[in-house]
Structure 1
Amino acid sequence: MSITPQAASARNREICQLAPIIPVLVVHDVSHARPLAEALVRGGLPVLEVTLRTPVALDVIREMAKVEGGVVGAGTLVTPDDVAAAVNAGAQFGVSPGATDLLLDTCEDIGLPLLAGAASASEAMRLLERGYDMLKFFPAEASGGVPTLKAVGAPLPQISFCPTGGVSPSNAASYLSLPNVVCAGGSWVAPSDLVNSGQWGKIEALARAASQLGL
Structure 2
Amino acid sequence: MGEVIGEILPLALGIAISPVPIITAILMLLSPKARVTSVGFLLGWIIGIVVAVTVFTLLSSLLPEQDADASKPIQGIIRIVLGVLLLLVAVRQWRKRPRDGEEPKLPKWMQAIDKLSFVVAFGLGFLLSALNPKNLLMAAGAGVDIGSGDLGVGGIVGVIAIFTVIAASTVLVPVVGYLIAASSLRGPLDRLRVWLGHENPVIMAVLLLVIGVVLIGKGIAAF
Normalising by structure 1, report the TM-score. 0.23
Normalising by structure 2, report the TM-score. 0.22
| Structure ID, larger Rg | 2
The structure that is strand-richer by fraction is 1
